[in-house]
Amino acid sequence: MNTLKQFIIFEHGNEHDLEHDLAHKKDFSDPKIYTANDDLSKRWYVYFSFRNPKTGKMTRMKNIYGGANKFKTKEERIALLSRYQRRLLKLLKEGYNPYQKNTALFKSKMDKKSKKEVIEVKEKPKLPEKQSTQEIQNKGSKNNTEDSSLNLKEAFDFVLKLKEKTISPRTYKDYCYASSSFIKWINKKHPEIIKINQVDKKVAIEFLNSILLNSSSRNRNNLRLILSSDRF
C-alpha cells in the first residue's frame, strides 16, 4: 500500500492549494499542526480526520511527524510541518483516501516525476576552447583558418601528434581510443559531417549519451573528460 508518509514527505511538484473545495460534503478535516503549546521537549506533528466509509463518522488518522522533531527551534519545526500540512491538504483534495490503496494517484505522481528526469551533460566552456584552438593554430598552422577546414581524422591526428610528447603512453592510448570511437560514431550516425568545424555541442552531447546508453556512465565520463581536455 502506498503510505501517506510517502506522499507527504517525498511528493514533488506544485505546493499551491487547489482553488476550490469539493462541492459535496467533505470527507476530511483540514490538516492542523500540533505544537504542544510551543514545548520543544514534546513531539510536534500534523493531524487530520477522515470519514470512515463504514460508520460515516470522522475518524482521527495517524499523526504525521516526518522528522520534524529532530529540529530544535520553533521556526524550523513550523517551517517543515507547514509544508507537510499544505501537501497533505493538496493530496486530500486530489482524492487521497487513507482507506484505499491510492495506486492510481501514486502512479500519476511518479509518472510526472519520471518525465522530468533527463540525462544532463555539463556544457563545455566556450572561451577556453577558443583560446586553446588559437594556441594550436599559432603553433602548427600556416594560416589561422586552416584548422577549421580540416576533416575529422586530420584534426584529431593533428592534436594527437601534439599530445604525444606531453602525456604518458597510457594516457595517449586513451586519447587515441576516444578519437577513434568518436570518428566511427560520426561516420555511422552523421555521415554528413566531414569537417571538424561542423561538430557542435549538440553532436557532442548525442555522442556522449549514446556511450551512456550502450556502455556505462564511467566510460561516458572518461570520454567526456578526454574530448573536453585542452586541445581536444
Q: Where are the domains of the chain?
A: 4-116, 126-227
Torsion sign (Cα): 135, 137, 142, 144? negative
Q: What is the pLDDT of residues 21-74, one digit of tens each?
A: 444 578 999 999 999 999 999 999 999 999 999 999 999 999 999 889 999 999
Grid cell at residue 67? 522528522
Grid cell at residue 204? 557532442
Alpha-carbon distances of 99 from 50, 53, 54, 96, rounded to whole Å: 9, 8, 10, 9
Query: Which pLDDT does position 17 carry in this prediction?
Result: 46
Query: Which pLDDT does position 207 carry in this prediction?
Result: 85
Q: Quick one: which of 78, 74, 68, 93 has its CA closest to 16?
A: 93
What gap in Å lies between CA 96 and CA 105, rounded to an integer?
7
What gap in Å lies between CA 98 and CA 1, rounded to an integer?
10
Instruction: Write down the residue that cell numbers 511527524 correspond to.
Output: 65
Query: Which pLDDT does position 3 carry in this prediction?
Result: 58
- The answer to whether 11 and 109 are in contact (CB under 8 A) is yes
Running DSSP on this structure, what letter comes out for residue 196?
A: G
Instruction: Write down the residue that cell numbers 604518458 correspond to.
Output: 168
Query: Could you confirm whether domain 126-227 is CATH 1.20.950?
Result: no
Model-level pTM greater than 0.95? Answer: no
Query: Which pLDDT does position 80 carry in this prediction?
Result: 93
Q: Quick one: which of 82, 89, 84, 83 has its CA closest to 17?
A: 89
Measure the CA dihedral 42/48/53/54, to 10°.
30
Stretches where the chain sits below pLDDT 50 are 1, 12-23, 118-122, 124, 127, 130-131, 136-137, 140-148, 230
Query: Which pLDDT does position 65 carry in this prediction?
Result: 94
